[in-house]
A and B are shown apart, each in its own frame.
Chain A
Amino acid sequence: MKPLDEATLIPSHMPTTNRPSNMGASVNDNASRLDAVPKVTGSAKYGKDYHLPNSLYIVFIRCPWGAADFVSADEAAAKATPGVVEMQVRGKSCTYHGQSIGYIAADSPRAAKRALRALAPKWKRTPVKTQISDTVKDNPDIGDDGQNNMNGAEVTHEAVYTTPVQTHSSLETHGGAVDHRGDRATVYASTQGTSSSRDGLGGPLGLGQGDFELVCEYVGGGFGSKLGGPGKELTTAAQLAAKYKRPAYMFCNRSEEHLDTGNRPSSRTLARIGFKKDGSPVGGEIRTWGGTGVAGGGGGASIPSGRYKLGEIKKLHDDVSFNGGGPRAFRAPGHPQAAFAEELMLDEVAAKLGMDPLALRMKLAGGEHRKMFEAGAKLIGWSNRKPNGSQNSALRTGYGAGAAGWGSAGPGGAAEVVIARDGSVESRTGTQDIGTGQRTGMGIVTADALGIPLKYVSVKIGRSTLPPGPGSGGSVTTPTTAPTMTAVAKAAKTQLLELLATQANAKPDEFSIKDGVVLRNGEKYLTWEEACGKLPNDGITANKGKGERGDGHSNGVQFVKLDVDTETGVIHLRHVVAIQSCGRVICRKTAESQIIGGVIQGLSFALFENKLLDRNTGAMVNDNFESYKILGPGDMPHIEPVLWSKGQSGFKALGEPPTIPTAGATACALFNAIGRPVRDLPLTPDKVLAALAAGQGGAA
């Protein structure tokens, strides 16, 4: 084996400080998360941590097969289990593994589990479908006019690309704890929507909205799966808490989380596309199928993405059902699947054209993407790329690239900023922080708008009694709340300066604040704390202000470099460059972390993740973290996030775009290394070896 080259030698501990390649400055380059201490020391309380005295513990009774009719259960034995308080079994036919047919509520988690074992439901299995290919077996044209937009093409390409079901795998599972005290309640939820969950709970709790508070100060991840109301776990807990006027607790375990809390639907993409010899697009047709499990729809794949000119494309999408849990929004829904097909398709076309795939992309992509491709090619060392399939060594290196794009949201939501006489500032918004850095971002924009150091600001979020903000979906949280919070903080500042002006018998515009010092006509006038000391007893409260919307989209490109061991088929990820714009960067560290996090979810999707249903029984065979593998520390390449804020204004989306191009770029890099495409994710060693074996007769 040849020795590993320099990228392997880049220390895994390359500091994130002063990354040389960030293009532009952030509002705050050095702030750490405002909630780092509670998180790192374990004192942060998540919904799952609220074990309240005298609580009921709830478990769901679930179907163990992909399709089965409920036959019977030993309800008497279950009810007789010590500690059982209530049981409900609604015997019925089930259509996916993990479907709930009722619940058991008991005085302790152990009692509930023991009763579930005693219940021992009996089932009669029925036939199952477990994947798209059980229904879609051939590659039909779109329409019957024989017209596929490829007239005049000099090079054509037809292929089918597939991706498996991916689960969100948030570390904190779904559920909640409810403290019902008769006429009042507190709900501790794990949710991406403080307001929408609150809205759905009044009924189950039997209380008016003013009589309970929903708290989600810390949420252990969600990635889309915790959107859309309280969910059945929390709703059941709320109902039972209301019925028994005592606390109730329901959280899924890891298996239930894989089975029944949503997923990224699988996809099948049939592409037929034509080009001129010089790489100009002619057109074609693209058919996609989305694997939505038992849900009626929601498996759409966003191809063509619009990021590349592909000529006139005829497009048709169908959702396909099978016996699996339904999908939910998952970080850039429909996009990573589509980008996998689109990027690998482009590399295959480039190979047929005898073109460098980056050169083809430069021909097809828009202006900002082209600039990003140029910058990224230098960072990854694209000039070292060897032609597809030209390597004969056991260890082969490949390079791949892909692009991302995301629209932006306008300002919205409500916020409040309070300045106290001691100089302390509190920013308030009900919006939750699912790990994105919402708390930190709100603090930074408040401090920036007021012109004071961050240390004066504390942030209150994640409570339904605070001014309502948006749900964490569509990467809109920061683009919605940051401009609003900025405007409200500026309104607070205006009030403060007007007050100082009145007291000094001067005009407000003589005053300004910079770095925690109040200036009058540019000269130091008072420290921040002295100025706040002049406020009335109850300080200043501002809650009105309309934020400004910025321009542009959140574009990005990624490059992946990897090695393939051709003897074992194992892929070693080496280096990823992720260039991403997101408007004005609020906090460099959380932004970089968000990009890296998007990249690893994409890499994990590319190499490992696959919700596998047994083809005979429909049961998920890897409902855990051992055989449902997610990327771990040892699998990480060196990831270089590059914040591209040149020429951008306003606060833009960042959560979703960095996970879009990764799997596609990884598949392209594999194609480059071994000369054969692997068109089905995940890119596991068996598929790599099969592709190598198929290619023995010569490179494609």
Chain B
Amino acid sequence: MACEDGRAMEVRLTLNGKPVRVEVDPRERLLDTLRYRLGLTGSKEGCGEGECGACTVLMDGVPANSCLVLTAQCRGRSVRTIESVDAKALGPMLASGATQCGACTPGVVMTALWVKENPGLRDSHTLRELMAGNLCRCTGYDGIIDGLHAWVESDARSGGAA
């Protein structure tokens, strides 16, 4: 897709496990590439300035605010978005009142996924500290933290990480 002033560059990355090639403006934010070019609107824009976490994706397994990442920076890297997440795997996050309006929720879930997949994080940080980069105006966070707790515990009980 060409850009209005003719600038474009090709970026190859792994997106949700599949290799993809996108042609983007060199100044384009990853969030815009996802939402606007690729139609992946699960990642939300709450602030556009790295403050709310609604746009969180995992870059090489680590949470990143996709509103602060240039798509060009994703060259050769692996990006995972909310669209890759299977509802069935999220059991306790669904059951706990972790969402009200839902605008913050995809970002919350991506950070939660990182917490769940990296049990070592919880040795030195509380769940609240780990979730501190995600703002929610509705739920009061209780349901989110409860759900995440139940989710990581269910893993510990069944003896293995996903």
Is residue B159 within 8 Å, beta carbon to beta carbon, of the partner chain? no
CB-CB under 8 A from A386, the residues of chain B are none
**Bound complex: CA of A219 vs CA of B103, how far in Å?**
8
Contact A41 B42 (CB under 8 A): yes
Contact A636 B41 (CB under 8 A): no
Main secondary structure of the interface of A (DSSP, over half): loop
Q: Looking at the complex, which one of B47, B104, B140 makes contact with A596 (CB distance below 8 Å)?
A: B140
Is residue B129 within 8 Å, beta carbon to beta carbon, of the partner chain? yes
Is residue A333 within 8 Å, beta carbon to beta carbon, of the partner chain? no
Is residue B15 within 8 Å, beta carbon to beta carbon, of the partner chain? no
Is residue B101 within 8 Å, beta carbon to beta carbon, of the partner chain? yes
Contact A44 B25 (CB under 8 A): no
0/1 per residue, B116-158, Cβ < 8 Å to A? 0000000000111101101111111111111011100000000
Supposing A110-B3, A218-B102 touch, asked if A590 and B145 sit within 8 A by C-beta, the answer is: no
CB-CB under 8 A from A435, the residues of chain B are 100-102, 138
Supposing A12-B127, A40-B99 touch, asked if A254 and B143 sit within 8 A by C-beta, the answer is: no
Contact A220 B132 (CB under 8 A): no
A63-71, A627-635, A672-680 - interface stretch: A627-635
**Bound complex: CA of A435 vs CA of B42, how far in Å?**
17
Is residue A306 within 8 Å, beta carbon to beta carbon, of the partner chain? no
Is residue A16 within 8 Å, beta carbon to beta carbon, of the partner chain? yes
A residues 511-547 near B (Cβ < 8 Å) are none
- Chain B count of residues within 8 A CB distance of the other chain: 66
**Bound complex: CA of A52 vs CA of B73, how far in Å?**
27
Contact A221 B103 (CB under 8 A): yes
Supposing A32-B94, A41-B87, A220-B103 touch, asked if A636 and B140 sit within 8 A by C-beta, the answer is: yes
| CB < 8 Å A-B pair total | 208
0/1 per residue, A579-603, Cβ < 8 Å to B? 0000000000110111011011100
**Bound complex: CA of A219 vs CA of B47, how far in Å?**
16
**Bound complex: CA of A39 vs CA of B5, how far in Å?**
37
B84 to chain A, nearest CB (A): 10
Contact B43 A42 (CB under 8 A): yes
Supposing A32-B94, A49-B35 touch, asked if A436 and B137 sit within 8 A by C-beta, the answer is: no
- Which 6 pairs from chain A and chain B are nearest by CB? A42-B42, A435-B101, A220-B103, A39-B102, A596-B140, A13-B149
Query: Which B residues are within 8 Å of any A CB, using their own CB?
Result: 3-5, 25, 27-28, 32, 35-36, 39, 41-49, 51-52, 54, 81-83, 85-87, 90, 93-106, 109, 126-129, 131-132, 134-146, 148-150
Query: Which A residues are within 8 Å of any B CB, using their own CB?
Result: 11-16, 32-33, 35-46, 48-49, 51, 81-83, 106-111, 114, 169-172, 218-221, 223, 253-254, 434-437, 589-590, 592-594, 596-597, 599-601, 624-626, 630, 632-634, 636, 639
Task: List 13 additional contacts besides A172-B101, A221-B138; criterion CB under 8 Å.
Answer: A36-B95, A41-B87, A41-B90, A41-B109, A42-B109, A51-B39, A81-B4, A108-B4, A114-B4, A589-B96, A593-B100, A633-B134, A633-B144
